[in-house]
Structure 1
Amino acid sequence: MIGRRKFMTCTLAAATTMTALASTTVAETFEFQKGHSFLHDTQNDVSSGLPIWPVQPPGGGGPDGGERISQHGVVTNVPFPTLTILRPMRPTGTAILVAGGGGYKRIENGPEAIPAALWLASIGVTAFVLTYRLPLEGWLSGTLAPFQDAERAIRFIRGKADHFGINPNRLGILGFSAGGHLLGMEAVLADHLNYSPTDALDTVSGRPDFSLLIYPVVTVEAPFQNTSTRRVLIGDHPTTYQSTQWSMQTHVHPGLAPFFLIQAADDPVSNPANTAILQAACEYNGVDVERHLFSAGGHGFGLGKPGTETVKWPRFAENWMRTHNFL
């Protein structure tokens, strides 16, 4: 187990590197960044590498050594789940928890989560990037590990709303691919806790006030089961019950907060039926939902693939949040 000070230093340096890489990409590619500004706070305890658990995560175990971050900001070997916080120069009070994808084998923080956090900060949203535990990295909680982290993260943020300067009633989620599955499952099962409470923060509501899901994995049921998400979480030969219980649409019910969904029609990883299935479940249960299906863009386009209409989704999402009074 690495020491806390060494862990904090390594995590901060890695997150700063990812932010620099992502900032360059965003500035070069996305016109909506012009005229906006953000503050990446690395000077106090509300900074990169903020642990969400007071002690060791539930169950124990985990990988040896520190986080491994590729040159593109892809994270593996996560020894502690943390939040990287990007704060706006002109905060609106709205906050969003962000999770990158990666099939529960890695976390696409550099390509997805950090650029999204930069965009959110540019429109006045305090962004919290979750670096969550990966099920195959030796955690005794197994497949529950990342879900425990998501459940804890939203309670942690809401419970410390005054400290972070945010409105606890305007706390949303933004997930990409498997990160969309992770946070989407937290949204539909917000009252369910997969660990024993550790402190007063675990008594706070885990219900997000809105959900933005970008090319999410929604279902692991046939015929849409050929994803890393399904293989990691329930294996190659799951029961029908397992497939149903690990699929988001199963748990949609009246009273959920609104959903905003984005996908490309040529997505080769998460079949476009995923967002259609979630949209149908929301509509059946009277849950507010808006879905945008772009003709091209593939999978993993983050804030948008240049040359396709997927680059429009951040503006659509911003307008949607304003319409719903979240900005």
Structure 2
Amino acid sequence: MDRRSLLVGGIAAGLAVPGLGPTGAPRRSHRTIRLWPGRPPGAADVTVTQRAVRRSATSPPDDLAFYGVTEPTLAVLRPERPNGIALLMVPGGGYERVATAPDGGALAHLFADRGFTVGTLLYRLPYDGWAAGPDAPLQDAQRAFRLLARDAGAATRVGVIGFSAGGHVAGSLAGRFADATYDRVDEAESLPARPDFAGLFFPVITMADPYAHAQSRRNLIGKAPDADRIRRWSLEQNVPADMPPTFLAAAADDRTVPVENSMMMFAALRRRKVPSAIHIFDIGGHGFGTPGDATGPGHFWPDLFEDWLGRHVAGMPR
């Protein structure tokens, strides 16, 4: 097997050759920032213990699933040649776990290689006893966004991208940025939490049947939520007029989160006249966010996303 075949195979598996990033350059180091000074808000009744395990027996060593998150963090990768854009990246996991590498994995490195500052969020899960319940992940997203914006500097445009249930977290941040979900901690709270843009990829959107992702709904709002609870946490029912420009992408053959989630969100954005775009691919299934997918959209959706950013984000190179 030649070096190129080995590299492509490693990326497709979710991890590039050890020590190398997705483009073949040396894998860059990352910095981990704790979100909260001390315990996160609403921790009085939390008894879980944070742990990380390999997602499967054949997973690479850093392809992890985090359970019982009690120390939410932001893993920051800095590019050699910054393009003036920072991404808060939110992994998925059905609100049961957070599936990510400690440094954000191949996708974070891909964007860093393209000039983006990338902060990958490890967030708390709503069913672990946090006082905020379903809003615990949003608390972490708002706090992480402010810390990333402060770290990146005033000249940097900061957006959020999320995948699967992480798409629901990202969409919640984009739609509820003005909500005060926690008490002031420090001077970072003086920064706005409104992203300059949002990217939602094969996202969980609705909590309503028949298109709700059952696992995400159960873990977020319970086994038998009432109509008001369903409405409150269904993103397509809560789009504000000042929601940032939003990019959606999903595959028609997704058997985990129905593609109708993305279609419903796009229709809601259109009704509110929010600048938005959607790409529905015929194949790709669920989880095509990993670069190196030679048979689906994984190898070209970053180009589509960057092209869209060039039209909607001031200062983005085209």
TM-score with structure 1 setting the length: 0.82
Question: What amino acid sits opposite 1:159 in the alignment?
Answer: R
Match of 1:88, SS state, is coil
Assess if the C-alpha contact under 8 Å between 1:22 and 1:110 holds in 2. no
1:105 partnered with 2:96: yes
Superposed counterparts of 1:45-64, under 5 Å: 47-48=31-32, 50-61=33-44, 62-64=46-48
**2:74 aligned residue:** 83
**1:316 aligned residue:** 304
**1:5 aligned residue:** none
The CA deviation string for residues 16-59 of structure 1, in whole angstroms up to 9 with x for no partner, is xxxxx87984647xxx9547676324xxxxx12x1011221101
1:131 partnered with 2:131: no
**1:276 aligned residue:** 263
Shift of 1:202: 1.6
Shift of 1:226: 4.0
Moved more, 148-157 or 259-268: 148-157
Assess if the C-alpha contact under 8 Å between 1:180 and 1:214 holds in 2. yes
Assess if the C-alpha contact under 8 Å between 1:266 and 1:296 holds in 2. yes
**Equivalent-residue separation in structure 2 for 1:136 and 1:283 (angstroms):** 33
The CA deviation string for residues 198-236 of structure 1, in whole angstroms up to 9 with x for no partner, is 222122100000001110011111211242111111122
Match of 2:92, SS state, is coil
Shift of 1:111: 11
**1:252–1:141 CA distance, 2 compared to 1 (3 A):** closer
**Equivalent-residue separation in structure 1 for 2:159 and 2:115 (angstroms):** 13
Assess if the C-alpha contact under 8 Å between 1:303 and 1:314 holds in 2. no
Superposed counterparts of 1:258-273, under 5 Å: 258-273=245-260
Match of 1:254, SS state, is coil
The CA deviation string for residues 142-186 of structure 1, in whole angstroms up to 9 with x for no partner, is 222111101111122223433xxx634x10101000000011111
Question: What amino acid sits opposite 1:201 in the alignment?
Answer: A
**Equivalent-residue separation in structure 2 for 1:138 and 1:238 (angstroms):** 17
Question: What amino acid sits opposite 2:306 in the alignment?
Answer: E
CA RMSD of aligned residues (A): 2.5
**Equivalent-residue separation in structure 2 for 1:174 and 1:228 (angstroms):** 21
**2:148 aligned residue:** 157
**1:151–1:111 CA distance, 2 compared to 1 (3 A):** closer
Moved more, 203-212 or 217-226: 217-226
**1:51–1:259 CA distance, 2 compared to 1 (3 A):** same
Assess if the C-alpha contact under 8 Å between 1:114 and 1:129 holds in 2. no
Assess if the C-alpha contact under 8 Å between 2:50 and 2:67 holds in 1. no
**2:204 aligned residue:** 217
The match for 1:67 among 51, 57, 61 is 51
The CA deviation string for residues 107-142 of structure 1, in whole angstroms up to 9 with x for no partner, is 111399422211110110000000001123343332
**1:112–1:84 CA distance, 2 compared to 1 (3 A):** closer
**1:226–1:67 CA distance, 2 compared to 1 (3 A):** closer
Assess if the C-alpha contact under 8 Å between 2:248 and 2:279 holds in 1. yes
Question: What amino acid sits opposite 1:55 in the alignment?
Answer: G
**Equivalent-residue separation in structure 2 for 1:228 and 1:150 (angstroms):** 21
Assess if the C-alpha contact under 8 Å between 1:303 and 1:313 holds in 2. no
1:39 partnered with 2:39: no
Assess if the C-alpha contact under 8 Å between 1:78 and 1:132 holds in 2. yes
Gaps of 5+ in 1: 1-20, 42-46
Alignment length (residue pairs): 294
**1:188–1:36 CA distance, 2 compared to 1 (3 A):** farther
Identity of aligned residues (%): 34
The match for 1:257 among 244, 247, 258 is 244
Question: What amino acid sits opposite 2:41 in the alignment?
Answer: P
**1:13 aligned residue:** none
**1:280–1:53 CA distance, 2 compared to 1 (3 A):** same
Question: What amino acid sits opposite 1:58 in the alignment?
Answer: P
1:94 partnered with 2:78: no
**1:144 aligned residue:** 135
**Equivalent-residue separation in structure 2 for 1:249 and 1:36 (angstroms):** 40
**1:24–1:273 CA distance, 2 compared to 1 (3 A):** closer
The match for 1:303 among 290, 293, 301 is 290
**Equivalent-residue separation in structure 1 for 2:104 and 2:226 (angstroms):** 32
**2:179 aligned residue:** 192
Q: Which structure's residues are more often helix, by fraction?
A: 1
Match of 2:64, SS state, is coil
**2:107 aligned residue:** 116
Match of 2:274, SS state, is coil
The CA deviation string for residues 86-111 of structure 1, in whole angstroms up to 9 with x for no partner, is 11111112101001000111111139
Match of 1:120, SS state, is helix
Question: What amino acid sits opposite 1:68 in the alignment?
Answer: A
**1:294 aligned residue:** 281
Question: What amino acid sits opposite 1:135 in the alignment?
Answer: P
